[in-house]
Chain A
Amino acid sequence: MSFIIAFIWSFVLWLVLTAGTRGMLWSAEELIAGIIFASIVAFSTRNIIGEKTTRFLNPLRWFGFVVYAMGPLFWGMVKANLDVAYRVITGKIKPGIVKVPVDLENDAQYTILSNSITLTPGTLTIDACPEEKALYVHWIHVTEEEPKTSEIVAGSFEKWARRLGK
């Protein structure tokens, strides 16, 4: 099963990278080469990518990712970048590493949340501890030394991560 998933994703990536070789579509040579290389990649990674990979084929989940990236994540990046720009110019910083308690279940949710936190400047995930249900976040301007929820660091990201990583 994981062979098929890896094959589909590598082939889709190949199609995206080679679009426009005949008119707006693909020439036959590119398609054949794509099948060969996607098979090689899928065969060599079939034991690495894990068991629960069928969830990555759900189109609703991909729609959710696109909405998340364009809506809350992008808006968070805009706000946070303006904030860091202000701190670069004025030099007003109050750095510190805080422990942020989170309520997530699996690794995919931790990955999504900590990557989102790192992408928004001003916060930088240093370590994730699923056994303590906590993230350690370097914060450039600490306003609360022991936050009770991830709301103050990550806004609505935790809710999104829980839904997308299910």
Chain B
Amino acid sequence: MIEIIIYAFLAVSVTFNILGSLSLHRFSDVYTRLHGATKCTTFGTIFVVFAVVLHSIWQLRETNNPKYLQMALHSIVALIALMLTNPTGAHAIAKAAHLSGYKPAKAVIDAYERKIRGEAQ
């Protein structure tokens, strides 16, 4: 039963990682690619960590070996670090891209451009 849940988590994570990679081909400019490439992969990675934690708690109950406790705790620390650094990195890339002149393609509105223009005048 637990094995089925672990496989389900892994399947979800692989699906979202594939979609994230696919978005690099489907989308046309840096911002829309960032959406797929940074965030679908985060969601996929969260489910990998869930699968690892579930597996190690299960093994910890079966074998009582402390190395599974370490495995679970380290994965959770990695997940927290990922959830803190990923949005920060995506934001830094997007802002740097906009400031160095890559405008969003096919954008219906660009309020940030208007703000920078307004400051420059």
Which A residues form the contact surface with B (CB < 8 A)? 13, 16-17, 19-21, 23-24, 69, 77, 80-81, 84-85, 88-89, 91, 93-99, 114-116, 118-122, 124-127, 129, 136, 138, 140, 142, 145-146
Secondary structure at chain B's binding surface: helix, strand, loop or mixed?
Answer: helix
Question: Main secondary structure on chain A at its contact with chain B?
Answer: mixed
Which B residues fall within an 8 A CB radius of A? 16, 19, 22-23, 26-27, 29, 31-32, 34-36, 39-40, 42-43, 46, 66-67, 69-70, 73-74, 77, 83-84, 86-88, 90-91, 94-95, 98, 104-113, 115
- Residues of chain A within 8 A of B32, CB atoms compared: 93, 95, 140
Known: A81-B39, A114-B91, A126-B98. A119 touches B69 (CB 8 A): no
In the complex, chain A residues whose CB is within 8 Å of the CB of B88: 115
Given A20-B66, A20-B70, A145-B91 contact (CB < 8 Å): no
Task: Provide the residues of chain B in CB contact with A69, threshold 8 Å.
Answer: 83
Known: A77-B43, A127-B112, A138-B94. A95 touches B107 (CB 8 A): yes
CB-nearest residue of chain A relative to B94?
A126
Which of chain A's residues have a CB closer than 8 A to the CB of B27? 88, 93
Jot down 12 A-B pairs with beta carbons below 8 A, ordered by A: A16-B73, A20-B69, A21-B66, A24-B66, A24-B69, A99-B111, A122-B35, A124-B34, A124-B35, A124-B90, A129-B115, A145-B109
